[in-house]
Chain A
């Protein structure tokens, strides 16, 4: 389990290391049109002992500071906040953190969410107890976010759950994948950062704080249907040979005829060559035959004895 966590952790770090230069590069021209709008964020949760009120989240130092970015205040992007709520067992949902995202307007009219970041509130003592209870009974830890980010109506929430026992590693590791369509959140996939082994063992985290990874996902376009008009006629039977087999050599094609022909020719030639000797050989063979004919009586006499 720890191995898997390490792998997950190192993978995330690796991704971060890869992405960090990209961010830095993007820091200078952040209104760049991004096709694949995926963003990774890592938030170190504060330790439970932190006395600061939970409403004031601390941003991870690795992230670029948005307040210093000149484009952040530009007209085509504005900041949106929406809250994450969680449910520890039977009670009602309670606030657990805040997502902040930039709202980006496109020239063709659509709006999308980008640059998602997340800050987790620290667990209160009560919540910690509730979480422990969840761990003990192998219950579900449920979170929710509003499906419409711009004007949360308070009705439609996107909910996601995971067995509480999947979360604890060294700290509480969680992984959000938020699927969006424009400004709407379609679904949140919430779960552990790595694998969750099946016989779920009861383990308590060393640190009662959340380590969160968030990924924002938009849909991808399906590849276009290939069209080759010129090959349509060929491909009509579906099994049409894609490439014609290379032309075979004369020998490769007709060896089965050539070999017997060769034999026949050779045979004929030897026969023709042996023709004069034939008679001698024939004479020899007849004398041999006589010898052979003579021989049997001797053997029979032997046998009769």
Chain B
């Protein structure tokens, strides 16, 4: 009966149309899209002449964007590729933004108002080296300003109108690094100052018209330079020596180079450690960053340095803003508890401040990292200043008149990991007024909707209906809903900030910059790894809040100590935070909970010792019962080995430490001359499979091989591990493995000749789908492997079932010899893929869709039925009834099946699916530079009415029917009576 019901349901599901497209007015009902830019590296304000109140920024996510200075909104934005890193930004001709990217090899000019690319020049760069961009001001070569690009020993001069190379000059064959470019007023030469091999200072006098080197002077310095220099006046450069403890003043007047060393502790007595020069272009002033503060020094000639001001940390100093012919202004920002003092000074007069403001800041933004200053003319014709501030959590603020005009939470452009949390259960005791209000709102809304349905609504009312639909009260509540659509998405950003986003509209519910993930003495260079669910209370859901576990590492090496922090998922309160004594290599959440419903986690350190968390005796007791059944594996990509382990106790278990030793159980060694590990993928731990049986045509049953321990490994030929096209089809191949991680068995191994990475894979239920490039066919391909359990085939015999001679209830052991069959098929696919995921539903009944992050930064939903290995060219009638699609060689891309409809999730990196409580629906969160959230129903919402369903119309119909009933009843009564009286 159950099988029949299931079959009926399956047929129902399969017969539903696959298109899940939206109507235009449904956009934004259940989805939201947020645009970000990332941590700002450079900012250029539009000049007064252009008249527009905009700022152009380039970020660490390789985004070039133009922001509105009034609101912080994005006017235009370009996301350059992952490898196209923006090195420098400048403005040319007052109307173009010029960017130098890809290690100084690509120079592009963008139109300021609309962001269109005007020209692009590819420059030859000998070796990857530090590059420098310099737009020459007021130097016209036939009405054309030149842009100079220094990269290694080459100087390119390009025309700023069309990007043509005007001249090209090779200075020296040695490893030259140009540090400063300087042009004296009213002359046709410029100075290029730099270091050769970090030990020789060199100054070139170059004619800008043809690149001719007029004069060249060199001098070597025996203790070497550290590679930083700051130009302080027309003929003096200050650099740091290799040990970063001496300031070296270099005078290059008239081609004669003299060095003068100053020992920093002589100048600043409290100095210890290493100094850094801050890149600034002040006249005669030098900013030195010593460990505890920033020191401003005035350079009075070659051998005289004088301390002007010492600014204690935490603080930041802006670049110089040319204010008038003589003066430059700069801003100093200094923290004082939660306040920030902003001072703007002129470099000619450091004792007086032009502007002094204080702003109040919430504590979750950390310290100021970068400051950009801009001036404007106030209504009373005086000069005002505004500053653009980049904070430690990568957020961006604009401060003007002592107020924060706007903030952008740009840390969200660099999400590392995410998880979800349920919202609090609705507490009793909601006030009557609230209910009345909501009832009134509800009625009003439905009345409006009814009007809309009956085409009676005026345009204003139509707009109101759309507004009500978009910000419905329902979807933004802070309580758990019946359908499970409302949740908190808890994201971890690269800056070490945790933010909780509401699924209703994507607003930030709370955010916390974890103190333990900030740079400190105990933990330099912290690095975030993952976020896990730590505690999900069910029994005490009314009284206890769930919490999440954040794992990080102090430094990028595997042996660096780990960071462990537990954060409340409703409030962002940090419960527990510590730097671990051991390192973190893997974290394994176990499907076990202790008596307080905390999830047990195993942390594997660099020595492969396993540490159990939480460190309570209760947890240890629970774990020891299950320890014989705990297995784990490690993939050593460099060594091409996969090893499987169990845990054992050597000697006495230290109850305070809970450390377990590994016992190597199996290993798989890939021959390094023919295979390198390219990718591994596993099933999601929390995936739910509804049934093991798969009903196929002719009332037959196949049993899926469902194991949580399946590991998919893809290896490629070492020669073909590079980019597409780096290998010929003959020397490229790909092996796909299905491995059981308990016993280390290779369940299936298959080779694809002429195939190459990049590989993306997703594993779910009993199948794996992977995407790669086929060099022979010059196309991308997607393959599917489905694995079926043959050992249960006998159960199809009805008599055996009746007599109870079946093994349906027998436990499955990984040690048994697996009896599996594999079905596979490959299909061509047009797109290259950035990320892949699969939908997940609460009970696993709904058919699955693959979510494919395409190269165009969109998310495409592809029905799993297209990737069925049983598709054949001419399916039989019964196969057609089952829903098998006739075989095609390529997978179709239905334009309506883009989950992101018209939007783009720029820089797409990940797609996360979470089941809603409603079986038909999956919540999809995709992130990159942008965020996008929606919910999708792979087989349409067969278990609920849509949100647009007009209850009022239904009610009206019922009322009308009842009224009609009454009227007709009354009429018939009357008629009958009349009949009777007749």
User: A residues engaging B (CB < 8 A)?
Assistant: 8, 138, 140, 142, 147-148, 156-163, 166, 175, 177, 179, 181-182, 184-187, 189, 191-199, 217, 219-228, 231-232, 235-243
- Answer whether residue B137 sits at the interface, using C-beta atoms and an 8 A cutoff: no
* B866 with A222: CB separation less than 8 A: no
| Residues 867-903 of chain B, each 1 if its beta carbon lies under 8 Å from chain A, else 0 | 0000001110000000001111111101000000000
Least CB distance from A96 to B in Å reads: 17
Bound CA–CA A237/B894 (angstroms): 7
- Shortest distance between the CB of B577 and any CB in chain A (Å): 38
Q: Is the CB of A158 within 8 A of B669?
A: yes
- Across the interface, B674 reaches (CB within 8 A) one of A177, A181, A185, A236, namely A181
Instruction: Find chain A residues with CB under 8 A from B875 CB.
Output: 242
With A140-B663, A157-B667 already in contact, the answer to whether A179 and B892 are too (CB < 8 A) is no
What are 10 sample pairs from A and B whose C-beta atoms fall under 8 A apart? A8-B817, A140-B663, A147-B669, A187-B669, A195-B791, A197-B811, A198-B812, A222-B751, A222-B824, A225-B826
Distance in angstroms between the alpha carbons of A239 and B865 in the assembled complex: 11
Interface of chain B residues 277 through 292 with chain A (CB within 8 A): none
Once bound together, how far apart are the Cα atoms of A258 and B815, in whole Å?
69
Q: Is B752 an interface position by the 8 A CB rule?
A: yes
List the 10 shortest-distance A-B pairs measured between CB atoms, nearest first.
Answer: A238-B892, A242-B886, A198-B811, A184-B671, A235-B888, A147-B669, A196-B815, A161-B665, A195-B816, A225-B826
Chain A residue with minimal CB distance to B669? A147
B753 at the interface (CB under 8 A from A): yes
- Known A-B contacts A156-B641, A175-B817, A195-B817; the reply to A161 vs B810 at CB < 8 A is no
With A186-B670, A186-B671 given, is the CB distance from A226 to B887 under 8 Å? yes
Q: Which parts of B665-723 form the interface with A (CB within 8 Å)?
A: 665-671, 674-675
How many angstroms between the C-alpha atoms of A220 and B750 in the bound complex? 5
Query: Across the interface, which residues of A come within 8 angstroms of B827, CB to CB?
Result: 225
Contact (Cβ within 8 A) B774 A142: no
Most B CB atoms within 10 A — which of A175, A199, A220, A222? A222
- Give the complex CA separation of A160 and B628 in angstroms: 17
Closest chain A residue to B828 by CB distance? A225
Contact check: which of A185, A219, A226 meets B751 at CB < 8 Å? A219
CB distance from B800 to the nearest CB of A (A): 14
A143 CB to closest chain B CB, in angstroms?
Answer: 10
- Contacting residues, chain B, for A223 (C-beta < 8 A): 824-826
From known contacts A8-B817, A194-B816, A226-B889, infer whether A219 and B791 are also in contact, taking CB-CB under 8 Å: no
Identify A191's interface contact among B628, B643, B743, B812, CB under 8 A. B743
Which residues of A have CB within 8 Å of B828? 225
* A228 and chain B: residue at smallest CB distance: B889
Q: How far is the CA of A142 from the CA of B825 in the complex (A)?
A: 36
A156 touching B889, Cβ below 8 Å? no
Assuming the contacts A191-B816, A192-B815, asked whether A225 and B669 have C-beta atoms less than 8 A apart, the reply is: no
Of residues B736, B750, B816, B891, which shows the largest number of chain A Cβ atoms within 10 Å of its Cβ?
A: B816
Q: Is B245 an interface residue (CB 8 A)?
A: no
Contact call A185/B817, Cβ cutoff below 8 A: no
Residues of chain B in range 803-829 having any CB-CB distance to chain A below 8 Å: 810-813, 815-817, 824-828
In the complex, how many residue pairs between chain A and chain B have their CB atoms under 8 Å apart?
163
Nearest CB on B from A234, distance (A): 9
A-B contact sample (10 more), CB < 8 A, given A142-B664, A192-B817: A159-B667, A161-B743, A163-B815, A219-B751, A221-B750, A221-B751, A225-B777, A228-B873, A231-B889, A235-B892
Binary contact readout B643-676 vs A (1 if CB under 8 angstroms, 0 otherwise): 1001000000000000000011111111100110
Q: How far is the CB of B267 from chain A (nearest CB, A)?
A: 57
Interface residue? B462 (CB, 8 A): no
A162 near B743: Cβ-Cβ < 8 Å: yes
Binding site for A on B (CB under 8 A): 18, 628, 641, 643, 646, 663-671, 674-675, 735-736, 743-746, 749-753, 774, 777, 781, 783, 791, 810-813, 815-817, 824-828, 866, 873-875, 885-892, 894
Which residue of the partner chain, among B641, B750, B810, contacts A222 with CB atoms under 8 Å?
B750
CB distance from B785 to the nearest CB of A (A): 9
- Give Cα distance in the complex from A25 to B754, angstroms: 35
Pair A196/B816 contact, Cβ less than 8 Å? yes
Report whether B746 and A187 are in contact in the complex, using a CB–CB cutoff of 8 Å. Answer: yes
Given known contacts A157-B667, A186-B671, A198-B813, is B888 in contact with A231 (CB within 8 Å)? yes
Enumerate chain A residues within 8 angstroms of B874, measured Cβ to Cβ: 242-243
Alpha-carbon gap, A179 to B885, bound state (A): 35
The answer, among B668, B745, B813, for a CB contact under 8 Å with A195, is B813
Contact among A159, A221, A224, A243 for B666, CB-based, below 8 A: A159
CB-based contact A161/B751 at 8 Å: no
Across the interface, which residues of B come within 8 angstroms of A198, CB to CB? 810-813
Q: Whole-angstrom distance from the CB of B887 to the nearest CB of chain A? A: 6
B750 touches A219 (CB 8 A): yes
Q: Which of A186, A195, A222 contacts B669 (CB 8 A)?
A: A186
Min distance, Cβ A255 to any Cβ of chain B, angstroms = 23
B665 lies within 8 A of A140 (CB): yes
Give A187's nearest chain B residue, CB to CB: B668
Closest beta carbon of chain B to A238's beta carbon, Å: 3
Residues of A with C-beta under 8 A to B777: 225, 227
State whether A179 and B894 are in contact (beta carbons under 8 Å apart), knowing that A140-B663, A197-B813, A240-B886 are contacts in the complex. Answer: no
- From the candidates A163, A191, A236, name the one contacting B745 in the complex (CB within 8 A): A191
Are the C-beta atoms of B668 and A158 separated by less than 8 Å? yes
| Residues of B close to A237: CB separation below 8 A | 892, 894
B812: A residues at CB distance < 8 A: 198
CB–CB B665/A225 < 8 A: no
| Chain A contacts for B663, CB-based, 8 A | 140
Kindly list chain A residues whose C-beta atoms are within 8 Å of the C-beta of B735.
219
Measured in the bound complex, the distance between the Cα atoms of B890 and A194 in whole Å is: 41
Question: B816, A192: Cβ atoms under 8 Å?
Answer: yes
Question: How many whole Å from B766's CB to the nearest CB in chain A?
Answer: 18
Contacts of A222 in B (CB 8 A): 736, 750-752, 783, 824, 826
